[in-house]
Amino acid sequence: KIVSDPQLIVQGVSRFDYSQGSYLGNCWFLASVGALTFQKDIVDQVMPADQSFGKDYAGIFHFRFWRFGKWIDVVIDDRLPTVKGKLIFVHSKTSNEFWPALLEKAYAKVCGSYADMQAGCVSEALLDFTGGVHVYFKLNQTSTDLWSLMDRAVNAKALMGCSTSHGDTPGNPILPNGIVQGHAYTVTGVFKLTSQGEPVRLVRVLNPWGKGEWNGAWSDKSLLWNNVSESDQSNCLSSAIDGEFWMSMEDFIANFKDITICCLSPDFLNSSSKYSWTSTCYYSSWDVGTTAGGRPRNKETFWTNPQFRIRIEQLDEECASGQCPENILVSLMQLHENRYRSLVSNFSIGFSVYLIPPEMKEEKFPAKFFYNKHPVEATEKFTQVRLVMKLFKLEPGEYLIVPSTFNPNESAEFMLSISTKSGSHKKN
């Protein structure tokens, strides 16, 4: 009824195919879709091939998402929200292409409704597209060489997104430099070039609105492009009004608050290809009266939380030299069954890591073990979110990881993911 010749995909899937609708604040989801379009194998997993409006069309489409530790199948019909025959949410720039609108509807079904997609974090949809390893950095609070990490992530076919801080003005005001406040973007690439004899590290960013671009240094109309080689200009420069733009790494850090990287493997965290990472997931729960002990300050009950042991063997050359010191990534995710995303109430969660003395062999460490003992690592604070993570370094030895909620007797299921560099060994 919308068009006479509907197509699921027209000339491939691209980040430039769509624009965000005017009635739904789900830029976090569409920024993740922009990242998804770069990886055909992941696209085919989320949106299985051999679907079309053609022969034997039955009015339904099939999608797959990774939700809270497992892949789920989602089937939707082809009815889409319209006003006067026009799509009101995400819409394709090609009038008869419908994969973006159908993908959005399938994800809305997973979340409970379109309204339940209002506001969120890029990391949520990136994880739901991949089931992969997720790392998150606050841009102005890390010593990591982020540009090099992002470069490795691009080569590893990772999906990346970023977001800006909310300003004092309600809504999503546009700053004079073209950046939208309180908004999610896709990171679509990095590039290093030479300008007037000096190296410049650039980041390419996409606005899911399909328009609205940065207008500062290295933007589409910046005169700085006159100072680079013709080959670099041809590789990078575009005058299209498509919402995508380049900016220096320095301007990226100054204008965005965080970056999320999601990849099927954490190997991109290495500064060389000599080392690999292994990942293990544990499913457990905090149960009232037995294993819901609350944060470490609750000295009488903290020990009752689930406990996980890990052994770190000799450090590899990268860790020992400080080139890429982190050798463990820990993620803690709350698992929810409530269909309606907006009704989910996350507890404040975190985890603490303790060094185990060599002589201690207990299967479950008692309360006295934790008295006057400070963790060697821990999440910065307990946060009321679906997932918390931390990337850090542990010296050789045996450790205890204790995930917990902020308060005792808060009941929830959770998934603890532990990724370690080769040379480390895990045991429950």
CATH code for position 332: 2.60.120.380
Say if residues 312 and 325 touch (Cβ distance below 8 Å): no
Q: What is the CATH number of the domain that holds 227?
A: 3.90.70.10
Helix axes 27-36, 122-130, angle to 10 degrees: 40
Same domain (yes/no): 398, 279: yes
Choose the catalytic residue: 111, 134, 183, 319: 183
- Band of pLDDT at residue 127, cut at 50, 70 and 90: very high
Q: What is the torsional sign of CA 262, 268, 271, 277?
A: positive
Is 248 within the bounds of a domain? yes
Last residue of a domain, one of 238, 261, 284: 261
111 is known as an active-site residue:
no
Same domain (yes/no): 323, 342: yes
Same domain (yes/no): 255, 359: no
Same domain (yes/no): 422, 278: yes
Provide the pLDDT for residue 197.
86
Say if residues 245 and 220 touch (Cβ distance below 8 Å): yes
428: nearest Cα among 382, 364, 381, 370: 364
Give the Å distances, CA to CA, from 392 to 142, 291, 330, 414: 12, 26, 9, 21
- Residue 372 CA to residue 357 CA, distance in Å, equals 15
Other CB atoms within a 10 A radius of the CB of residue 11 amount to: 9
pLDDT > 90: what percent of the chain? 53
183 is known as an active-site residue:
yes
Say if residues 260 and 134 touch (Cβ distance below 8 Å): yes
27 is known as an active-site residue:
yes
Q: Is the pLDDT at 265 greater than 90, yes or no?
A: no
Is 127 within the bounds of a domain? no
Lowest mean pLDDT among 17-21, 246-250, 285-289, 299-303: 17-21
Q: Is the pLDDT at 425 greater than 50, yes or no?
A: no
Is 111 within the bounds of a domain? yes
Same domain (yes/no): 178, 149: yes
Same domain (yes/no): 244, 295: no
208: nearest Cα among 34, 424, 411: 34
Provide the pLDDT for residue 428.
45
Same domain (yes/no): 249, 374: no
- Residue 188 CA to residue 204 CA, distance in Å, equals 5
- Band of pLDDT at residue 232, cut at 50, 70 and 90: confident
Is 315 within the bounds of a domain? yes
Choose the catalytic residue: 27, 111, 162, 324: 27
Last residue of a domain, one of 69, 91, 117: 117
Q: Domains in the chain: how many in total?
A: 3
Is 313 within the bounds of a domain? yes
Instruction: Note if the pTM is more than 0.75.
Output: yes
Same domain (yes/no): 288, 412: yes
Same domain (yes/no): 276, 414: yes
Residue 331: burial class (beta carbons within 10 Å; 0-12, 13-18, 19+): buried
Same domain (yes/no): 141, 77: no
Is 2 within the bounds of a domain? no
Choose the catalytic residue: 91, 162, 207, 270: 207
- Residue 241 CA to residue 287 CA, distance in Å, equals 53
Is 7 within the bounds of a domain? no
Last residue of a domain, one of 202, 236, 261: 261
Is 123 within the bounds of a domain? no
Same domain (yes/no): 231, 289: no
Same domain (yes/no): 344, 388: yes
Digit-coded pLDDT (tens) for 372-402: 889 999 998 999 888 999 999 999 899 999 9
20: nearest Cα among 85, 101, 79, 99: 101
- CA angle 134/272/122 to nearest 5° reads 20
User: Which residues constitute the domain of residue 63?
Assistant: 18-117
